[in-house]
């Protein structure tokens, strides 16, 4: 899952970015409103964390432009502004949630998980695929009830495929989901990660199908 962090405070931004990356998210960091607006126009994200007091273009304007483009991207406002009018304005402009600085990182992570889950899947926190169960809250995988360890890249690929069962996921889509701006990941690397994941899952009866010339998919299972 890919997140756009929009924050001009270097210390806080660095802490939030490291925390999100540690749990497996790909994170891009825009340090002003203009950079954020450009990123939101040109890139695909699963969530935006938006500060309000930004240089060049403030957070309210970034949010207004995003919603004027008919984007339904979940937006969590993260700000020190605690005035009721600011909270109302942000929500009325289309923000999905609001968290005040200072905040505890576990609460921020919980809100991030909740909004990505609501945008991607049904209300259930678990996706069941054959013997495999993926918990969208903890981002843990179990096979027949037992923990199943995967690398961060393998988990990201599996998560993306599980979110779109029965639909083809292209290599380009996987790169967008797994990589931030400062990372380089080509199609050959995606093939390697998919190959490793496939080798781990095939003995369990879970097969990642290759759709020649298009990408990969998990086929729908018979009910």
**Containing structural domain, residue 167:** 126-217
Work out the angle at residue 19's Cα, subtended by the Cα atoms of residues 18 and 24, and round it to the nearest 5 degrees.
Answer: 90
pTM, two decimals, is: 0.64
Nearest CA to 100 out of 72, 131, 78, 68 is that of: 78
Q: How many residues are listed for the chain in this entry? A: 223
β-sheet bridge partners, residue 169: 216
82-127 pLDDT tens trace: 888 998 999 999 999 999 999 999 999 999 988 887 776 555 578 8
Last residue of some domain: 73, 103, 120? 120
Q: Are residues 35 and 80 in the same domain?
A: yes
CB 174 within 8 Å of CB 190: yes
Q: Are residues 70 and 107 in the same domain?
A: yes
Q: Are residues 116 and 6 in the same domain?
A: yes
223 lies in some domain: no
CB 148 within 8 Å of CB 201: no
Q: How many domains, in total, are found in the chain? A: 2
Last residue of some domain: 53, 88, 120? 120
Q: In which band, very low, low, confident or very high, does the pLDDT at 182 lie, cut at 50, 70 and 90?
A: low
Q: Are residues 113 and 132 in the same domain?
A: no
29: pLDDT strictly greater than 80: yes
15 lies in some domain: yes
């Amino acid at each position: 899952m890919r997140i756009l962090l929009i924050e001009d405070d270097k210390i806080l931004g660095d802490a939030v970015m490291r925390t999100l990356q540690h749990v497996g998210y790909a994170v891009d960091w825009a340090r002003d409103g203009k950079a954020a607006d450009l990123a939101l126009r040109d890139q695909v994200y699963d969530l935006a964390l938006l500060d309000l007091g930004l240089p060049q273009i403030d957070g309210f304007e970034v949010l207004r432009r995003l919603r004027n483009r008919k984007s339904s991207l979940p937006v969590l406002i993260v700000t020190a502004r605690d005035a009721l009018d600011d909270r109302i304005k942000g929500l009325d402009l289309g923000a999905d949630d609001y968290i005040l600085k200072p905040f505890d990182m576990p609460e921020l992570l919980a809100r991030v998980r909740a909004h990505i889950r609501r945008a991607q899947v049904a209300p259930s926190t678990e996706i069941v695929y054959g013997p495999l169960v993926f918990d969208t809250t903890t981002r843990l995988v179990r096979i027949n009830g037992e923990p199943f360890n995967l690398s961060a890249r393998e988990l990201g690929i599996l998560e993306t495929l599980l979110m779109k069962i029965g639909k083809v996921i292209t290599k380009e889509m996987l790169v967008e989901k797994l990589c931030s701006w400062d990372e380089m990941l080509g199609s050959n690397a995606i093939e390697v990660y998919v190959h490793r994941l496939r080798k781990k899952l095939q003995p369990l009866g879970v097969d990642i199908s290759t759709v020649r010339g298009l990408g990969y998919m998990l086929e729908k299972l018979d009910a």
